């Protein structure tokens, strides 16, 4: 519940920073996406969203894909990120990845004195719907990539498909990289991880990367340039 409230606050700030006409909120279904998903679950969620009469519009995020949204659509008109067949813009995750890439370029220009990411080492945490396409884009840019994911199959797939170096989840904070890109869950910049970070830049797609606001101050004092997550990852929200 705390995470859901943090996410709703993050969406509100993101919508404001992006100049969107809607506010921000977040719906969270507590469960394991590998085992708990069903058509009935998402249709029921859609009916609940419909009962709010447009005060809240739902869509994809961690653990939720276009197929899940299609089931929600059966119960509510207040859903975005639909497939193009239903008049939507499709999966917003690749657009989020593209936006993060632009943010990384801006950060590199500010901190490294170069807008090109060629030869820049990027440590990516999370190889899901945003992290994997981001890794592909960075590969095309000529960046050196070290990545991880809690799912071993995803790590192996990224290593095989993109030819990038992968490490275990616990090792990613110690990677000697220029840029750290959190693309999984939030609160990864915290009291336990800060001392391990030797990065020059933190720029990634995850929501609520700072465990507490004071950790942003600590990054500033350590001369680590932090791209506010609610700005750099807003591409998908703008898209839908």
Residue by residue, DSSP assigns 172-194 as GGG---SEEEE-SSS--BSTTTG
Rounded percentage of the chain residues whose pLDDT exceeds 70: 100
Is 26 marked active-site?
yes
Q: Which of 14, 26, 37, 200 is catalytic?
A: 26
Determine contact, residues 188/129, Cβ cutoff 8 Å: no
User: pLDDT tens for residues 117-166?
Assistant: 999 999 999 999 999 999 999 999 999 999 999 999 999 999 999 999 99
Assessment of whether the complete model's pTM goes beyond 0.75: yes
Structure tokens at 222: 């350590």
Residue 89 has pLDDT above 90, yes or no: no
- The CA dihedral of 230, 235, 237, 238, to the nearest 10 degrees, is 120
> CA gyration radius for the chain?
18
Count CB atoms within 10 A of the CB of residue 16.
Answer: 12
User: pLDDT tens for residues 196-225?
Assistant: 999 999 999 999 999 999 999 999 999 999
Residue 98 has pLDDT above 90, yes or no: yes
The dihedrals phi and psi of 148, each to the nearest 5 degrees, come to: -150, 165
Determine contact, residues 54/85, Cβ cutoff 8 Å: no
Determine contact, residues 82/91, Cβ cutoff 8 Å: no
End-to-end CA distance of the chain: 25
Structure tokens at 71: 């089931």
């Amino acid at each position: 519940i705390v995470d859901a409230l943090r996410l709703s606050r993050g969406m509100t700030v993101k919508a404001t920073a992006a100049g969107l006409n809607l506010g921000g909120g977040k719906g969270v279904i507590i469960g394991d996406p590998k085992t708990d998903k069903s058509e009935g679950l998402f249709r029921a969620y859609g009916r609940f969203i419909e009962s709010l009469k447009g005060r809240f519009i739902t869509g994809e995020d961690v653990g939720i894909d276009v197929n899940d949204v299609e089931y929600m659509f059966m119960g509510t008109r207040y859903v975005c990120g639909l497939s193009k067949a239903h008049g939507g813009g499709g999966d917003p995750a690749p657009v989020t990845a593209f936006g993060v890439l632009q943010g990384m370029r801006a950060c590199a220009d500010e901190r490294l004195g170069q807008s090109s990411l060629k030869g820049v080492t990027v440590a990516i945490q999370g190889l899901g719907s945003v992290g994997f396409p981001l890794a592909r884009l960075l590969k095309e840019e000529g960046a050196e990539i070290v990545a991880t994911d809690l799912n071993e199959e995803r790590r192996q797939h990224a290593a095989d498909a993109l030819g990038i170096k992968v490490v275990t989840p616990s090792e990613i904070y110690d990677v000697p990289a220029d840029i750290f890109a959190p693309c999984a869950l939030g609160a990864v910049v915290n009291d336990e991880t800060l001392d391990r970070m030797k990065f020059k830049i933190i720029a990634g797609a995850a929501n609520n990367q700072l465990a507490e606001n004071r950790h942003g101050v600590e990054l500033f004092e350590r001369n680590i340039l932090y791209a506010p997550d609610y700005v750099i990852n807003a591409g998908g929200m703008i898209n839908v």
